[in-house]
Structure 1
Amino acid sequence: MAEIRIRNNDERIRGEEQVRAFLDKQEVLYEHWNPDKLPQELKEKFVLSDEEKNEILHTFDEEIRDLAQRRGYRTWDVVALSDATPNLDEILKKFEQVHTHTEDEVRAITAGKGIFIIKGTDDVGYFDVELEAGDVISVPEEKPHFFTLMDNRQIVAVRLFIETEGWIAHPFADPSFQK
């Protein structure tokens, strides 16, 4: 279950309803899908064949199509990252810079853990959303944020896009941000 850490005061927000209520105030969509639907052999697998990625998409097809219909997403895929991913550190450097997009950034975590760092309202500042299997988040277009892995450095996520070109980041310079 997702957990939030507000960076300027180290406050923690736990529990699905509390997390959802906080993120709703920050205009960030949060949902939870049932991670137990995933076949056991894929729950802790972080190097995936195309066939296994398609199996994940098939397993969550109803949830994906429902979210896509409600929010206008037109394409989706699966991304898997772990220490076995070639050039993982260079890939993470690209993600680990505050940026924006011209569309929502959506991730449905199916295995592992990840973290979004998001710029909230002026009274909140930056906050971390720690995600695990079953957590679904949509960071709105033009909202400064970035994504990275947690200490286990393993994640599998379904990504949904409006633009068929996929993930395009626009750097966001913010002197107030501190890693």
Structure 2
Amino acid sequence: MGRLTLYAETSSAERPGAPLLESSDPQQIAELLAARGIGYDRWPVQAELPEAADAAAVLSAYAEEIARVQASGTYPTVDAIRLSPDHPDRVALRQKFLSEHTHAEDEVRFFVEGRGLFCLHLGAEVAQVLCEQGDFLRVPAGTRHWFDMGSAPRFSAIRLFDNPEGWVAVFTGDPIAESYPLLD
């Protein structure tokens, strides 16, 4: 189950103060994020996937949920990603995602297993959403954010896109991400 932590925005030279709010209640998280234009939901978790499950197995296990989301016509492209602590590019991928960026399209993720920390720069607030197994998050296009998968990533996520080429990050150059807590 996910967790939401809200902070007041700080300058890149300051550390954030105490959180304004923390919640692990899915309904409260959904309501608080919806008020800020972010979609959050909980999907039922299917049977545990075997360690060797590939992207096709992940997509097959959640075919019904994917079809439900794709029925709106908004997200015609879908894939699955699975990262483990021994992934050869884990350090470079983590560093890339830790920089604040935006996308021209929505960023939509469903966490099949494991966890990751989405950090959303929402005006005068920073919302950290710890997504864990069963969490579905929709970050609208243009939202400033960064993502931490941790130093030893272990997660699998379904990604839905409106762009067949997948998401393309546009980095803001703002070092704000350096001021907030990381996943580990």
TM (norm. structure 2) is 0.84
Unaligned 5+ residue runs, structure 1? none
| Per-residue CA distance 1:80-126 (angstroms, 9 max, x = gap) | 1121111210011111110000000111000101110001243xx11
The 4+ residue runs of structure 1 with deviation greater than 3 A are: 173-177
Distance 2:176 2:133 in 1: 31
157-166 or 6-15, larger mean C-alpha shift: 6-15
Q: Tell me the distance in 2 between the aligned counterparts of 1:92 and 1:151.
A: 8
Q: Which has the higher helix share?
A: 1
Q: Distance in 2 between matches of 1:100 and 1:55?
A: 30
Give the 5 Å matches for 1:107-146.
107-122=109-124, 125-146=125-146
Q: Count residues with an aligned counterpart.
A: 169
TM-score (norm 1): 0.87
Provide the residue aligned with 2:61 in structure 1. Answer: 59
TM-superposed CA distance for 1:41, in Å, is 4.1
Match for residue 13 of structure 2?
Answer: none
User: Aligned equivalents of 1:94 and 1:176: distance in 2?
Assistant: 14
CA shift, 1:69, in A, is 2.3
Unpaired runs of 5+ residues, structure 2, are 9-17
Q: CA RMSD in A?
A: 1.8
Distance (whole Å) between structure 2 residues aligned to residue 89 and residue 100 of structure 1? 21
Matched residues, percent identical?
27
Indicate whether 1:28 and 2:28 are aligned: no
